Structure 1
């Protein structure tokens, strides 16, 4: 990654902090990387997941016990924990172009941080595990008056953040292709997952989320993560939702495949065409809720086209039929977190902006702005639980249940791309990545 891009990124993020500090009446923000979590009644640590607020400041995604201190008009301070530890690999000295932007103090035990950290005036702590720091002199822990504007602005990505997400898409695309080949070779879900890991070069703990690797009917489970080791007698279809991490920034990609040239393969291709068409039409100023509803209408049209329903797409949306086949939101903000924060707020003050009652699972309700990165992931699924509910309603008369039964053995189809909003046609980071590999 370009050193100048990171320098510009840090300058932007620090300016956001200074403005938020001044507006909220705090003099200092201390951002903690986090503490590893221990399993209940055990001495085993879960894989460390850093505080995303810390990770936005510098590319240290495997370093617990560190602090960044930010004060108005001062160079940020990094307190870097490099413990004496013969049980584990000790972190190397901080290195890279980013270190020039911090005053760095290395400590050997977590307790040393209290004396090294210089609290000035009214200081706010940002992070988890606040009970560990009750007696350190902080004026507040995670105050919303400070965090809300920072989280709102995190929805707008710097050029450095975009390049990290783009790089994570390239890794993901390469690994997705390997997973597709493993499916075509007849591998089990677990075997496909291993193929993905090998191609990505990532350990399982380094993935941004647990891979969804679903064969046949398992594609109807939205978050299917069972990873069965037994090969099915017949692999009819394959849905994979999997990403990668670069400097803590995630990609989130879904693809669906059919083994044979059949009507399910045609459904995948038709959904792909609609997805690209609607993505290309997205512009700043539009409502993401409206984008979600537009995709619902498109899905209603596809259900009619493939004979699943007998009424037009608009009527299917109005009667609530499409939510049976498309029961989740069209996407979410993407960045340090796979479901990046502040998607359901109306303003920088954090005023709640919940999704409409008809679409309760929509994770993003904000107006679309330039420099946002979000996912667009339409899907059509044949989920027994939801289909049984629909059968009990009057709207069941508008469904061709024989066609539903024909599609059920394939589970479902989802296609997910990561999209950067520009002044013109959006930049599809996922399609770029697949073209590159």
Structure 2
């Protein structure tokens, strides 16, 4: 079985090839990638949570160490400037000793400013990272040049075998959290209590999560990015939607599940969504326009709404009129990897040319044609959202909505089911379903 260690060298080879081609095409001779900086909160001496530059962690999975640098020159050894300050207020970062560290020449800095002479010696160097005012005197040829970023971002969609294995492991980590969260829900826990059990099962701290957990009970599931965690459980537990992921070596999983507290009509609706979601996952094939999967999701969800007596219009009519968007207002998914909503979802070539979303679908995050190595989310949803329903009452299709059925389901909030799916040259690999099967 392949390990991260055994896959990492080939990952570096691919990164080097992509970077060499991008530097040559854009007229640069070297690259400096900053891990990021701690920023202090306004009128305080406490920093905001640190999130590493994704370009940095694609080379070295250091996710919690600010003010480090990767220095790259084609054909030369990789260099890592590692900040290890003399600090008795905080724990000093330990020298990297994991599988990847031996591939770098590591130079220790005691102050962040010690990076400057190293960087000034780099020839015709492009910076990737947040631009700081002092960098104007550090000798960079350019900061975050668009052409270079376009090329690097375009290739990030195609995952290396190392990246895919990181994402498989992140999926297992997330699946463990989801199992614990479902158990806590069925035991009657509050949103906060469920969240704590998720952290315990994944062995993540709050700051290590790839994105803030969505832990939504009952009608809170109708808020797409519900951001609170109530401390007391509701008087009546009806439904639970959890959108939460895991992270391994800087790579994310992004998983959503919805549960009913009983075997009722809402559970039947969840089962229908589960079936169509798996059908959509099977559409993740090389050569498929991802926007077509999104449109397929609208048709399938519209059919489920009609079969469930929530609307009377047929699927094509519901999609064409915008009726399906009342209940499914977001995109079917996005690229996934170093970032949860990974970059370059609309870029169709290395020069940064963009492909527009289908008309009437402003929230779709990916319009590229799928290729082997792409990892995407497939996350159809069906919600009962007050503001959208209020607008629908005034729309021409209002008569096609069974408002009594809508009122029946509103206390449950809504449904979303999300898997992470890798496109291959053949049958897609569902990372999420495989992860759940590994922990059963």
Residue 94 (structure 1) aligns with: 96
Aligned 1:15-164 pairs, distance under 5 A: 15-117=17-119, 119-164=121-166
1:124-170 per-residue CA deviation (whole Å, 9 max, x = no partner) reads: 11001332311000010000111111000000101111111111110
* Residue 337 of structure 1, aligned match among 322, 339, 346: 339
| Cα deviations by residue, 1:319-358 (Å, 9 ceiling, x for unpaired) | 1101110000000000110000111222211123231231
- CA-based RMSD of the aligned residues comes to 1.0
TM-score if structure 1 supplies the norm length? 0.98
In structure 1, runs of 5+ residues without a counterpart are none
Alpha-carbon distance in 2 for matches of 1:62, 1:122: 29
CA distance in 1, matches of 2:260, 2:54: 37
Cross-structure match for 1:229:
231
Mapped pair 1:260 → 2:262: yes
8 Å contact from structure 1 (residues 130, 141) kept in 2: no
Moved more, 111-120 or 378-387: 111-120
Contact 2:81–2:108 (Cα < 8 Å) also in 1: yes
Point out the more displaced range, 331-340 or 66-75: 66-75
SS at match of 2:333: coil
Query: Equivalent residues in 2 for 1:226-375 (5 A)?
Result: 226-375=228-377
- For residues 94 and 171 of structure 1, what CA distance do their matches in structure 2 show? 23
TM-score (norm: length of structure 2)? 0.98
**Could you say which residue in structure 2 is the equivalent of 1:212?**
214
1:397 aligns with 2:404: no
**Quick check: 266-275 or 130-139, which moved more?**
130-139
Partner of 2:432: 430
The answer to whether the 8 Å contact 2:371/2:423 transfers is yes
SS of alignment partner, residue 291 of structure 1: helix
Note the residue ranges of structure 2 that are not aligned, 5 or more in a row.
none
CA distance in 2, matches of 1:300, 1:67: 50
Deviation at 1:118, TM superposition (A): 5.1
Count of matched residue pairs: 437
Contact kept in structure 1, 2:4 and 2:166, CA below 8 Å: no
Contact kept, 8 Å, 2:120 with 2:140, in 1: the verdict is: no
C-alpha contact (below 8 Å) 1:28/1:119 kept by paired residues: no
Aligned equivalent of 1:376: 378
* Residue matched to 2:205: 203
Aligned mates of 2:4, 2:250 — CA distance in 1 = 16
- Give me the whole-angstrom Cα distance separating, in 1, the residues matched to 2:358 and 2:425: 27
